[in-house]
Amino acid sequence: MASYTFKGGVHIPNLYLVKKPEVRQVAPPEQVVLPLQQRVGGKQKPCVKVGDKVLTGQVIAKTLGKYPTYMHASISGVVLAIEKHPIPHPSGIDGVCIVIDSDGRDKWIEIEKCDQDFLRCAPSKVIQRIREAGIVGMGGAGFPTHIKISNAQGAQTLIVNATECEPDIMCDDALMQHYPREIIRGVEVLMHGCGARKAIIAIENDKQEAFNSLLMYNFNEHIEIVQIPTKYTSGAEKILIKTLLDIEIPSGEFASDYGVLCQNVGTVKAIYDAVIDNKPLISRIVTVTGSAVKEPRNYEARLGTSFASVVAQSKPNNNLHQIRMGGMMMGVDVPSVQYSICKTTNCIFVNNATLKPSTQSCIRCGQCNEVCPVGLLPQQLFWYAKSENMDRAMDYNLRDCIECRCCDIVCPSHIPLAQYFSFAKALYYKQTKEKQKTDIARERFEFKEFRVERNKTERAEMMARKKEELKKKMAEDKTQKDKIAQAVARVKNKGVLRK
């Protein structure tokens, strides 16, 4: 068996591991709050209004722009409001949400059946079904799945990312143990959709039960299931591709450019639901864990269910809490549990509030350089980011930083390096945008000057040409010349007479 590994990265122990593979089903809530702002692709437009009755699975909002996506009602009931609520978005701002009050029936809309044998459907029909089911990358990126598949048409290899990667998140592990048959079938659907002849499902080697479950249901010789070392950041797309296929994807290029399509295992299960079971994406598995909960657990909850109602089932203590959405490494701190579960919510951390250690000066130990999984020099980057020397930071490939925080956690001076890099990238792109704006304004001004100057020259040339033509014409006009001579003579004679 091949031994898959990669340079850099860190081993992080699981501290608050969910002990049982159980997935507790959360009953459809009395109310759901569904944000219109998507992680990628802008805001969706509601296709319902306040007071409308909706059924579970009904389309209630969509975008038709560059990245068209659909949102469905996750319960049946009445649209209570379309108004601003706190949304689980890294920006931390409020966003417009559709609020549905349950009618207690959870009555599904009738969805047109797709041909059960998906292999007879054209790949374009499979992609269309995925689009209409509102599926986005469920590993956290939230990129519309149908776009990713369309861009990877003709891919040779499909990689299913089942690494989970960050410590303590167990939602994909639970998913694989509960739905192995659906996942294998979902992989086949996806292979048909993108045209890949081969698929590799990559699982970290601490998820033995999940690995066994998938092996038991895999009868397809074109699907390989492999174990990779449990090391953070094994699940980052380019790192996973390098680990499995030894393909190095350069900065600014994409997996699809190299005949590879990468999809998260949760997304694959959602694809199965959409294409085989004709169900849109209206629920997901979420891990609730952390130092402040007595019963860390996985829950399957409808989208729009409040964090608070799910967290309450894990019995949090009464201390002051720090809430984090997503993993401890790449998640986002949020002020409270007033948010609702969305398509990319894989984990809710509830920790006892603690003081962060104070930041000290860099001692140039070089430990950060050792662990960077993309081969950057965080120590150098830090100096340039801190002094806002963006050009030098870019020379050191700042744009390739995946903000994984490996450098942060080994830094003995507790410098929040990834935060600096995130800020520096934002500043660079802002400056570049502003520079582009200034360049455009300057070019416009210069073009205007050039136009005025060119008009002047053209006018002068035209006048000179006309004068020349006139002269020529006059020279050729003999009669005219004579008339002039006679006139001159007359004038002269008059002058003589006067004398």
Q: Which residues bind to ligand SF4, rule: CB under 6 A? A: 362-368, 371-372, 374, 376, 378-379, 382, 401-407, 410-413, 415, 417-418, 421
Q: CB of 2: closest distance to ligand SF4 in angstroms?
A: 25
Report how far residue 160's alpha carbon sits from residue 85's, in angstroms, rounded to the nearest whole number: 34
Q: CB of 421: closest distance to ligand SF4 in angstroms?
A: 5
Place of tokens 């002094």: 387
Q: CB of 370: closest distance to ligand SF4 in angstroms?
A: 9
Place of tokens 């390098």: 242
**Could you say which DSSP state residue 110 is in?**
P
Q: What are phi and psi of 477, to 5 degrees?
A: -85, 95
Sign of the dihedral through C-alpha 79, 84, 87, 90: positive
| Residue closer to ligand SF4 (CB basis): 70 or 421 | 421
| Residue closer to ligand SF4 (CB basis): 284 or 405 | 405
Q: CB of 348: closest distance to ligand SF4 in angstroms?
A: 23
Q: CB of 196: closest distance to ligand SF4 in angstroms?
A: 28
Q: Please report, as a single letter, which amino acid is at residue 492.
A: K
Q: CB of 275: closest distance to ligand SF4 in angstroms?
A: 35
| Residue closer to ligand SF4 (CB basis): 210 or 240 | 240
Q: Report whether 411 belongs to an annotated binding site.
A: yes
Q: Report whether 97 belongs to an annotated binding site.
A: no
Q: Report whether 347 belongs to an annotated binding site.
A: no
Q: Please report, as a single letter, which amino acid is at residue 448.
A: K
Q: Report whether 401 belongs to an annotated binding site.
A: yes
Q: Please report, as a single letter, which amino acid is at residue 360.
A: Q
Tokens linked to 382: 């830090």
| Residue closer to ligand SF4 (CB basis): 9 or 186 | 9
| Residue closer to ligand SF4 (CB basis): 299 or 421 | 421
For 162, the 3-state DSSP assignment is strand
Query: 396 and 376 in contact (C-beta within 8 Å)?
Result: yes
Query: 83 and 58 in contact (C-beta within 8 Å)?
Result: no
| Residue closer to ligand SF4 (CB basis): 65 or 412 | 412
- Determine how β-strand 260-264 pairs with β-strand 157-162: parallel
Tokens linked to 479: 């009669």
Instruction: Cis check for the bond before 233: say yes or no (omega within 30 of 0).
Output: yes
| Residue closer to ligand SF4 (CB basis): 365 or 484 | 365
Tokens linked to 485: 């001579």
| Residue closer to ligand SF4 (CB basis): 34 or 402 | 402
Beta bridge pairs of residue 225: 201
| Residue closer to ligand SF4 (CB basis): 209 or 333 | 333
Helix axis angle, 417-476 to 378-386, nearest 10°: 60
- H helix intervals, 279-405: 307-312, 367-371, 378-386, 390-395
CA terminus-to-terminus distance, the chain: 126
CA dihedral 124, 175, 281, 284 (to 10 degrees): -150
Q: CB of 381: closest distance to ligand SF4 in angstroms?
A: 6
Q: CB of 399: closest distance to ligand SF4 in angstroms?
A: 11
Tokens linked to 431: 């400056």
Which has the closest alpha carbon to 18: 139, 165, 172, 160? Answer: 172
CA dihedral 34, 36, 37, 40 (to 10 degrees): 100
Q: CB of 380: closest distance to ligand SF4 in angstroms?
A: 9
Report how far residue 116's alpha carbon sits from residue 275's, in angstroms, rounded to the nearest whole number: 8
Q: Report whether 407 belongs to an annotated binding site.
A: yes
Which has the closest alpha carbon to 325: 343, 311, 345, 309? Answer: 345
| Residue closer to ligand SF4 (CB basis): 341 or 376 | 376
| Residue closer to ligand SF4 (CB basis): 39 or 405 | 405
Beta bridge pairs of residue 300: 25, 285
Q: CB of 387: closest distance to ligand SF4 in angstroms?
A: 14
Q: CB of 176: closest distance to ligand SF4 in angstroms?
A: 27
Place of tokens 């136009």: 451
Q: Please report, as a single letter, which amino acid is at residue 417.
A: L
- H helix intervals, 133-201: 145-151, 171-178, 180-194
Q: Report whether 171 belongs to an annotated binding site.
A: no
Tell me the binding residues.
362, 365, 368, 372, 401, 404, 407, 411
Binding site members for [4Fe-4S] cluster:
362, 365, 368, 372, 401, 404, 407, 411
